[in-house]
Structure 1
Amino acid sequence: MRRSLRFALVAASLVASTAFASPTNPQNGVEYTTLSTPQPVQAVGKKVEVVEFFAYHCPACFSLEPGLAEWVKKQGDKIVLRRIHLPFQGPADPEAHLHLTLQAMGKEAEMHGKIFQAVHVQRVRLMKDEQIIDWVAKNGIDKAKFMETWNSFGVMTKLRRLPQVTTSYQATGTPTLIVDGKYQTSPGLIADKLKIQDRNQILQAHFQVLDALVAKAAATK
């Protein structure tokens, strides 16, 4: 009897958690998780830092990009977006190396969309060093300056540290977003927890969750 009652209570709690799941009122462990160790943020004042872990070859990141750009624009000066390329190929990941080099050159914003278009629309392979160096030289970046930055101490140091950074943020896939160094969410998590299959609905719910997490973080500043 007690065993049956215990199972009934567990089942009821699962139904309740699903029933109250809402992207406009996200719950820890449902639409987002809280990092076991909060990470330091670079945003100053009352601005909320949002970190996107992404990969240039990631189709979901490419799909997210237009909506993310609009969301960032809507947030205005309330947030600061920072991107980190997940090093899928380890501490010498060529795509992550490219991203860090563009950041150091002040070319990230200029080239970000172009790289996504090259990879996902033009089907250009940018998974090896030589492929990347050849592509950037043909797309408006001075090759000598690029190589100088590519091989610089600062970029190489950040590249070697990326796996450790990724582990600290508990980021295992892309796209993953971290709000205020502690709240982690992703379109995939939301689709799974809210049982949504339509891509547009997933993205809409995802941005609603981000809205709520930014408001939650801002309230503590």
Structure 2
Amino acid sequence: MRSLRFALVAASLIAGVANASPADPKNGAEYTTLSAPQPVQATGKKVEVIEFFAYHCPACNAFEPALNQWVKKQGDNIVMRRIHLPFQGPADPEAHLFLTLEAMGKLEEFHHKVFRAVHVERKKLSTDDAIIAWATSNGLDKAKFMEAWNSFGVTTKLRRLQQVSAAYKVSSTPTIVIDGKYVLSPATVAESNKIQDMGQLMQATSQVMDALVAKAAKTK
């Protein structure tokens, strides 16, 4: 699956001298620029950062701790958003779960629990029934969960996810979009800098994101 791309690249690349510094990323190498920048939700001097991810994606699970640390470090400089890529189409169950938790105001509490369920506890959360059973067995009120799950707002957002991902030209995870136009991933950073160590890759990716946030902030 393409969502595993960065992990496979990082493991298979032969160590060598970096082609460019992650602190000075190059367009077309560590990142690309969308030909049609997308509207941002951030206001004022803040820079919007979007992570396209998927709960079943091992690379996303590996990236999550480093991303959370980076978000904390950036603080008020950014507005962070997450979008679940709908790998299973317009009714993707995992994306449906993410949007439901978001609508319930439970995302902060349950986001890491979903990753743990899939990647540590090896739960198969790939169908609606499995997800609903997991959610209610983990303390969420079933009536409230189903109300949000079936709500107009959640189902509308779910149907639009494929259109949204197409607008950003995102087809793999994890992918980061900064200021609606700069697109990067750990895979692009690994390929451009010939990094094979996972710790170094996380640090280098954070440096690229730092540089692009700073670049975007200059135009605010």
Regarding TM over 0.5, the answer is yes
In the aligned structure 1, how far is the partner of 2:19 from the partner of 2:120?
A: 39
Aligned residue number for residue 170 of structure 1 = 169
- Find the counterpart in structure 2 of residue 91 from structure 1: 90
**SS of residue in 2 equivalent to 1:111:** helix
- Asked if residue 70 in structure 1 is aligned to residue 69 in structure 2, the reply is yes
Counterpart of 2:111 in structure 1 is: 112
SS in 1 for 2:153: helix
User: Which residue matches 1:198?
Assistant: 197
**What pairs up with 1:51-62 in 2 under 5 angstroms?**
51-62=50-61
Whole-angstrom CA distance in 1 between matches of 2:50 and 2:66? 15
Shift of residue 189 of structure 1?
1.0
**Larger relative contact order (Cα-Cα within 8 Å, sequence gap ≥ 6):** 2
Find the counterpart in structure 2 of residue 12 from structure 1: none
Tell me how far apart the structure 2 counterparts of residues 56 and 23 of structure 1 sit (CA, whole Å). Answer: 27
- Aligned mates of 2:161, 2:18 — CA distance in 1: 39
- 2:18·2:194 contact (CA, 8 Å) conserved in 1? no
Q: 1:142-199: per-residue Cα shift (whole Å, max 9, x none)?
A: 1101101101111111100100000001111000000000000000111112111111
Equivalent residues of 2:176, 2:183 under 8 A apart: yes
Larger of the two Rg values belongs to structure: 1
Q: What letter corresponds to residue 52 of structure 1 in structure 2?
A: E
> CA contact under 8 A between 2:85 and 2:165: conserved in structure 1?
yes
Give 1:177's aligned amino acid: I
User: Aligned-pair distance for 1:19?
Assistant: 6.6
SS in 1 for 2:50: strand
Give distance in 2, aligned partners of 1:140 and 1:40. Answer: 37
Give me the CA root mean square deviation.
Answer: 1.0
1:104-159 C-alpha deviation (Å, 9 max, x unpaired): 11111110001111110010110100000000001111110110110111111110
Asked whether the 8 Å contact 2:18–2:192 carries over to 1, the reply is no
Contact 2:19 2:193 survives alignment (8 Å): no
Displacement of 1:201 after TM fit?
1.1
SS at match of 2:27: coil
**1:58-114: CA deviation from partner (whole Å, max 9, x where unpaired):** 001111111111111011100011000000000000000000111111111110001
- Percent identity between matched residues is 68
Q: Which residue of 1 aligns with 2:147?
A: 148
Distance in 2, Cα, partners of 1:49 & 1:140: 32
- Runs of 4 or more, structure 1, over 3 Å off, are none
What secondary structure is seen at the aligned counterpart in 2 of 1:117? helix
For these two proteins, the number of residue pairs brought into alignment is 204
Structure 2 gap ranges (5+): 1-16
- What amino acid maps onto 2:21 in structure 1? S
Q: Which stretches in structure 1 are left out of the alignment for 5+ residues?
A: 1-17
For the residues of structure 2 that align with 1:137 and 1:20, how far apart are their CA atoms? 49
